Amino acid sequence: MCGALSPIGDGGLFLNVAKLYSHTYIIMEKQKQKAELDELKKQVSDCQQCELSKTRKNIVFGEGNPNADIMVIGEAPGANEDEQGRPFVGKAGNLVTEVLESVNLTRGEVYISNVCKCRPPENNLNQHQSAVDACEAYLQKEIAIIKPKFILALGLTAAKSLLKKQISQNDLMSNIHGKVFDYQDTKILVTYHPTARISPLDIILADVRQIPEIINPNSKEV
């Protein structure tokens, strides 16, 4: 039968169908992820579980590339973040940008969040453990949605919230910075928070220079 098409023999046709299916699947997964993040953000917005819900101007939810391999987790919003409803802006944002750029990353390539989604008025989470406890489930869900391959934990609060079974609550940052831990099969590098009272930028930069090798251990030149 001249002119008849044989789908079975047309490998190109099946290849195109496979590509279309894969493309459709990726789109559906991204839509699902966005819906999950939107729902989680709404839950955080409605949260009244701790005292910080009464003093916040805005909740500060995570932002960035939801498909990022790298997730940056800080401690809590400051005044600028509370005002704008965005994580790591102002001085803190500039420092985080500098840290990321030191390993050839931009904010647009990572996903940035905090342990606590509301600002402690005196910028001291040590006085608001109930807020950390209340936000813990939100952070865990956020990580589960993003599915990062690597987490950069900035500050003791971030480290202790994620690594309760691996580090002591009495550990100091001087003892754990620059070390790599595991969080549910995801590698975590711990370093100082860039706006902490004692925050040596040179040490932070030295710590984060490990990131490329941690993510791609076989890429190091021999």
Examine the pLDDT at 14 and tell me if it is beyond 80. no
Computed over every residue of the chain, the mean pLDDT equals 89
Enter the pTM of the model. Answer: 0.86
Tell me which DSSP letter residue 7 carries. Answer: T
Q: Which of 144, 136, 142 is nearest to 112 (CA)?
A: 142
pLDDT for residue 221: 44
Q: What does the block give as tokens for 19?
A: 């590509």
Q: Which of 143, 108, 150 is nearest to 37 (CA)?
A: 143
Examine the pLDDT at 51 and tell me if it is beyond 60. yes
Yes or no: say if 192 and 75 are a contact pair by the CB < 8 Å rule.
no
Which residues are CB-neighbours of 114 under 8 A, at least 6 positions away? 60, 62, 73, 74, 75, 76, 77, 87, 158
Yes or no: say if 206 and 99 are a contact pair by the CB < 8 Å rule.
no
> pLDDT tens for residues 107-125?
999 999 999 999 998 888 8
Q: What is the mean pLDDT of residues 170-179?
A: 93
Residue of higher predicted confidence among 194 and 7: 194
> pLDDT tens for residues 147-165?
999 999 999 999 999 998 8
Q: CATH number of the domain at 12-16+24-215, please?
A: 3.40.470.10
